[in-house]
Amino acid sequence: MRRSTGLLLVSVIGVSATACGSSEAPSSSAPNSVTITVACQPAKSAPKERQAWDADVAEFMKAHPGVTVKSTDQQPCFDPKTFGPKLAGGQMETVFVVPVTNYNDVIAQGQALDVTPYTSTIKNWNDLRPDVRELVTKDGKVYGVPNVHYSVGLVYNRALFTKAGLDPDTPPKTWAEVREAAKKITALGPGFVGYGEYSGGNTGGWHFTQAIYGRGGAILTPDNKKAAFNSPEGKAVLQNLHDMRWTDNSMGSKLLVGWESLMMAMGSGKVGMMLGAPDVVTDVVNKFKGNVADYGITGFPEAKASLSGGEAYMINPKATPEQAKAGMAWIDFRFNTVGKGRFDFARGKAIGNPVGVPDNDVYGDSATGKALQAERVKNASLPVTNYEPYVQAAVTVPPKAEPVHAQELYAILDVVMSGVLSRKDASIDELLADAETKANTMLAAKG
């Protein structure tokens, strides 16, 4: 127990000591030269990816005399626990990544630079999807460069489908079909789970949001003043989960808390389906040792809207104009140029990266988007046909942004999800009503 005291002390020190830390941005050494630090260098445990990154840095510096790029390899690139203290302590990189779930917080708290004057540095800026650019725009000012965007789909294990007598080429299109498929997969034997879902660590609330958006519902009223999830759509989401968990017994008996828990289960090859974006396939294969040929992704069942996923690169608010400009040039080179950096699919294939997952429609069907898609397919190392149902379905589903105060709402909605998945006698009406009251109190307090 004394160890938790220590941990708390460290947390307090982290919060408080850094609050008065240095306010210096990464410095530039001479008027004509500028040094920037950039986040997300691959870890040493991924030597090929790291080598590719270092080659990109060298190429960039050669093309931009006077700019020195220093990389940091903290993993994960974005960690909400260290984000604020790093910024305050002068440890934040000039260029850093932010997932879409945190855009609102980071922008609202002034933790990203207004890069509106520098957007012309991004040569394909106008090809970026307008709705995705909107996510990093507040009051007409731009605070980041989106470089990944995707919508939700249904990730499924094709091998389990085959084993359960289901056709992996005709995955479920409706929730009723999902339920039937889940039952068959569970019937394969002990340990097999038809459908996996989160219930804690804010991931339960996050997936509830995905599911209710899919059914056409909302988390908040349009003016963001009141909760709107106590609705027929919200009830349908929970009723479906409750029935799968307790009537069909097709969801396993373990509550899944935190992102890794479901990913690990999916990687084990014993979970049939889950809601997720295409990057789930990449992560399950890369980080959780899933067999790449086993996984496919199809459209979000009965979807009327999809929670947006993705990430954007942003600039340290303490950066000098020269650093901001150099940082934007780096973002353009490494993350937004067809055939370079992240989008050098030929190199990715050569070093053994999984290429072919349609995990990024940040450029939509613009000229850049089409060029990217062509490159991806040309260099695919994965069975792209496994992802075709998703590609076809995703374009028909409009994206929808996260609600304001997302993390607070997710914490409240975790209770609803864990209630339904842990208690057979859970009253959905009571759970939703209770969560609604809590959410409204929270929203009123936040103003």
Partner 1 sequence: MRRNLTAYGFLCAALFCFTVFAWYPMVREFILSFQKTDLINPPTWVGLDNFKAAVQDPAFGEAWLNTVEFTVLALLCGYAVPFVVALVLNELRHARAYLRFVVYLPVMLPPIVAVLLFQWFYDPGPGLFNQILGFFHLPPLAWLDSSSTALISLVLVSTWMNMGSATLIYLAALQNIPPELYEAAELDGAGILKRVRHVTIPQTRLILLLMLMLQIVATMQVFIEPYMLTGGGPENATVSVAYLMYQFAFSQMNYGQAGALGMLLMLALLLFAAIQLRATREDRA
User: Which positions lie near partner 1, rule CB under 8 A?
Assistant: 1-5, 7-9, 11-13, 15-20, 80-81, 83-85, 87-88, 105, 109-111, 190-191, 199-202, 204, 252-255, 257-258, 317-318, 405, 407-408, 411-412, 414-415, 418-419, 421-423, 438-439, 441-442, 445
Q: Which is nearer to partner 1, 254 or 289 (CB)?
A: 254
Question: CB of 14: closest distance to partner 1 in angstroms?
Answer: 9
Question: CB of 426: closest distance to partner 1 in angstroms?
Answer: 9
Question: CB of 256: closest distance to partner 1 in angstroms?
Answer: 10
Question: CB of 334: closest distance to partner 1 in angstroms?
Answer: 25
Q: Which is nearer to partner 1, 108 or 377 (CB)?
A: 108
Q: Which is nearer to partner 1, 258 or 383 (CB)?
A: 258
Q: Which is nearer to partner 1, 93 or 414 (CB)?
A: 414
Q: Which is nearer to partner 1, 101 or 282 (CB)?
A: 101
**β strands within 95-242, DSSP E:** 95-99, 137-138, 141-142, 145-150, 153-157, 193-195, 198-200
Inter-residue contact 303 to 159 (CB < 8 Å)? no
Question: CB of 3: closest distance to partner 1 in angstroms?
Answer: 5
- Residue 252 vs residues 171, 189, 191, 202: alpha-carbon distances, Å: 21, 11, 8, 20
Question: CB of 349: closest distance to partner 1 in angstroms?
Answer: 36
- Residues 103, 298, 359, 149, CA torsion sign: negative
Angle subtended at Cα 311 by Cα 389 and Cα 326, rounded to the nearest 5 degrees: 135
Question: CB of 228: closest distance to partner 1 in angstroms?
Answer: 17
Q: Which is nearer to partner 1, 7 or 55 (CB)?
A: 7
User: Cβ atoms within 10 A of the Cβ of 2, count?
Assistant: 6
Question: CB of 288: closest distance to partner 1 in angstroms?
Answer: 16
Q: Which is nearer to partner 1, 44 or 81 (CB)?
A: 81
- b/e sequence 334-345, b meaning 16+ C-beta within 10 Å: bbbbbebbbbbb
Q: Which is nearer to partner 1, 24 or 31 (CB)?
A: 24
Cβ partners under 8 Å of residue 425, min gap 6 = none
* HSE-up (13 A, CA, CB side) for residue 362: 26
Closest CA to 251 of 419, 421, 417: 421
Q: Rg (Cα) of the chain, in Å, rounded?
A: 22
Q: Pinpoint the alpha helices (H) of 114-231.
A: 130-135, 158-163, 175-186, 203-214
- Give dist(CA 232, CA 256) in Å, integer: 25
Provide the pairing of β-strand 153-157 with 271-276: antiparallel
Q: Which is nearer to partner 1, 101 or 306 (CB)?
A: 101
Question: CB of 315: closest distance to partner 1 in angstroms?
Answer: 13
Closest CA to 323 of 99, 52, 169, 93: 93
